Amino acid sequence: MQPDSSPVVANPWEALRQFTDARIALGRAGVSTPTQAHLAFQLAHAQARDAVHLALNADGLARTLDAVFPEAATPCQVLHSAAGDRHTYLQRPDLGRRLNADSCAQLERINATPAQRPFDLALVVVDGLSALAIEKNAVPFLASLRARLEGESWSLAPLCVVQQGRVAIGDEVGQLLGARAVVVLIGERPGLSSPDSMGLYLTWMPQVGLTDASRNCISNVRPAGLGYGEAAFKLHYLLTQSRQRQLSGVDLKDETAAPVNQVAAGAGNFLLPP
């Protein structure tokens, strides 16, 4: 009998790979990772690094958002954090949480009386740690969200695109625009199987100095993760509840999840043969 020509020893969990992008059941070649799996890991690592350093085409994105929201009275605003460049942004997270002086003045000219909170909702698109995630996902997600908000009484603040920003920068944008709620769309820290994952953060009555306890998060928004329609459904639910109850964060729970299918009574461990 001819010996198996493949040097890779298969892993019995290999069938589970169809359910996850995680690196499981890779097999082995001797005591090492197979060459194909090793090269795939190196590629994923390079893609994650590239996503962190990719520059966002903010002006182009702003023009596209103006087309998605033609009813907006004011064109999409392109803003910048206090971190002047990517190198500073990566080393000084605190600067990424605040706008620079020019951007603050830009928003103050739009809303001279922010204390009155004339807008229901501000949508803020931020490059974060993956501009790739924003370029791929922001526009189709916002189109899906717009369809859910259409016909409801939501007064929208001018859309904003922020370069070199962190999540908390949305609080300053919302405060300066006078919005009662702010939603930040941001590129999440790239993983080794998800360099294009976008996060959503909702805050009621945003103001500088709030912590993560005041925010609700919906993560991994992308075609290979949480789809645009489902993410828009969840965010619309949270927005509606936030406006009704005038709160967000740890006091506001997402109760939209479908019931989890339970294992049939008497079923054995799926890892063990029947």
Q: What is the pLDDT of residues 75-91, one digit of tens each?
A: 999 999 999 999 999 99
Geometric angle at alpha carbon 76, from 71 and 239, rounded to 5°: 70
Sheet-wide strand order for 179-187:
77-80, 160-163, 119-126, 179-187, 198-204, 215-221
12's torsion region: left (phi>0), alpha (psi -120 to 50) or beta? alpha
CATH architecture of 52-251: 3-Layer(aba) Sandwich (3.40)
Q: Which helix H or strand E contains 8, and what residues bound it?
A: none
Band of the pLDDT at 65, cuts 50, 70, 90? very high
Residues 6+ apart with CB under 8 A from 247: 204
Domain ranges across the chain: 52-251
The tens digit of pLDDT for each residue in 192-217 reads 778 999 999 999 999 999 999 999 99
Q: 178: how many CB neighbours lie within 10 A of its CB?
A: 19
Six-digit token pair at 119?
């807008």
Q: 65: how many CB neighbours lie within 10 A of its CB?
A: 21
Q: How far apart are CA 86 and CA 25, in angstroms?
A: 37
Geometric angle at alpha carbon 20, from 18 and 24, rounded to 5°: 90
Burial class (CB within 10 angstroms; exposed 0-12, middle 13-18, buried 19+) of 165? buried
Q: How far apart are CA 174 and CA 182, in angstroms?
A: 6
Geometric angle at alpha carbon 83, from 79 and 88, rounded to 5°: 145
Q: Which of 81, 119, 125, 121 is nearest to 100 (CA)?
A: 81
Band of the pLDDT at 5, cuts 50, 70, 90? low
Q: Which of 45, 5, 1 is nearest to 23 (CA)?
A: 45
pLDDT at 19: 79
CA dist 252 to 145, 216, 246, Å?
20, 8, 10
Band of the pLDDT at 11, cuts 50, 70, 90? confident
pLDDT value at 48 more than 90: no
Band of the pLDDT at 35, cuts 50, 70, 90? confident
Between these two residues, 138 and 24, which has the higher pLDDT value?
138
